[in-house]
Structure 1
């Protein structure tokens, strides 16, 4: 079995499209199709089925996909370990993080990474927790920083930070100044602009308010944080986010943050890794760089314990 054929097959299934896989692999579409077809001939099984939305794996394809991801990852580990014998870690590591965290940490992380590992490359992906969790399990991310991730046997979580959530609003909206703090029961009086479900902060907000019997007034559901904040800045409503969401935003000088109290609404940030996929030395070293920055207070919250756990332990 040729590794290039296997990689083409895995990427086609992950993206659900030969065209998108070809772009990722920097190959032409006919070449990718030919590699997959050669693999089918060799295994004497159809591996893919086409439907109106792209391609999906057959039963045989699902079996191969499960094994193929592990094979490709082990090959990549072996390559990096051999390269590392020649000096500092090399290869590539891809980390996912929420936009609010990325805004605070990405520039410093890149600087630290380039100084420590001049022979390696770093990829930073910013997205919401629900998307990054899926990408982590698919192997597109080496590890990810996630807010309040779902309970799972497929991931290991290391709690690294806690941060209180705030009500974000425009100064002087409706003739009223933003208060220093807002009781959770009073959130019912504010028209909220929030991401739709599934979303880590939205889920935390819904669960805690339901537990306390606080009815929320959701005026708009907007998933893109930048667009959400633009609407808040225009006085269309209020957001519930971490203070980092508006920290250092000179382009939105009118936004203010009121801490949610009685009780506080606290979001947990964890470093998530795939349970069945060992980290490379480079990935572990990158995690150490991030933890050092977080412990230095770059996020402005509260440090957590650093014991790796499964969420149901």
Structure 2
């Protein structure tokens, strides 16, 4: 497979247009069409379909898009590893954070990384842990922080932080929360909670089932911002880490209290792939993440 053809295909899908992709790549549309056709012949399937506004990827094209981004990223990493003339402090690292963690770490990590390694570049991607894990295996990420990931032979995990989960409610509701909520009573609160793809949902349901607690889930929503908006309006209660609430703008009316007897503990790990080497610059970025956690950036004083 020609990497130039693969790169062209990815740009076409990203722009949704042969015209815009050709202008960006500074080549003719006819050349791009020939490159995509060559890929289709090689793979034995159609990759693009035309519509009134441009082009979109077929099911096979979307699969190639995901794999192709990882392939190009790994070629870039290989070039960095082999080209040592610029020294070990050059290259590029792509880091993945869950949104609640990114809100607290991204600015610190990027600022310190740019100051320490001016010849290198860093990219930060925020998404659910399940998506970050998939992208790490596909090669689109070099490392990631993940909440409660499943056992996976393709990924190495190192535990770096633990957080207890809190029940989050609105102080406008007129029904004040107690100072703590026993797990046995969690079923009496109407919950707004992420879908099954979210690690928090999986953890809460597993611990509730273990202790015979039936949950009252009234809304499923993966956007933490929207979830907290609904909680603040009194639609229901959330079960989240305190960092999710701390990322809220000042002046909110949310109150969070710990879930106890027992606590529900979420684990945060640094994840790296086992199927490919970790670059020097990625190791430096991980070192900065470790330092930020040790400095307590994930442990600010929480006022309930």
What's 1:277 paired with?
A: 276
* Aligned ranges 1:1-313 → 2 under 5 Å: 2-8=2-8, 11=10, 17=13, 19=15, 26-27=24-25, 30=29, 31-39=31-39, 46=44, 48=46, 54-57=57-60, 72=72, 75-81=75-81, 83-87=83-87, 89-171=89-171, 173-174=173-174, 176-247=175-246, 249-300=248-299
Name structure 2 gaps, 5 residues minimum: 51-55
User: Secondary structure of the residue that 1:226 maps to in structure 2?
Assistant: helix
Q: Structure 1 residues 32, 74: CA separation in 2 closer, same or farther (over 3 Å shift)?
A: same
Structure 1 range deviating more: 73-82 or 106-115: 73-82
Q: Structure 1 residues 284, 150: CA separation in 2 closer, same or farther (over 3 Å shift)?
A: same
Question: Offset at 1:262?
Answer: 0.4
- The alignment covers a number of residue pairs equal to 289
Question: Offset at 1:89?
Answer: 1.9
Q: Structure 1 residues 244, 18: CA separation in 2 closer, same or farther (over 3 Å shift)?
A: closer
How big is each residue's C-alpha offset from its partner over 1:228-270, in whole Å with a ceiling of 9 and x where there is no partner?
Answer: 0011111111100001111263444311110111011000111
Is the contact between residue 145 and residue 270 of structure 1 (CA under 8 Å) also seen in structure 2?
yes
Name structure 1 gaps, 5 residues minimum: 302-313
Is the contact between residue 74 and residue 139 of structure 2 (CA under 8 Å) also seen in structure 1?
no
Q: With structure 1 as the length reference, what TM-score do the two structures score?
A: 0.80
Output the aligned Cα RMSD: 3.1
Q: Structure 1 residues 170, 24: CA separation in 2 closer, same or farther (over 3 Å shift)?
A: farther
Question: Offset at 1:57?
Answer: 4.3
How big is each residue's C-alpha offset from its partner over 1:91-117, in whole Å with a ceiling of 9 and x where there is no partner?
Answer: 221111111101111111011101111
Is the contact between residue 83 and residue 89 of structure 1 (CA under 8 Å) also seen in structure 2?
no
Question: Offset at 1:205?
Answer: 0.4
Q: Structure 1 residues 136, 112: CA separation in 2 closer, same or farther (over 3 Å shift)?
A: same
Alignment partners' CA distance in 2, 1:21 and 1:154? 35
Alignment partners' CA distance in 2, 1:101 and 1:21? 35
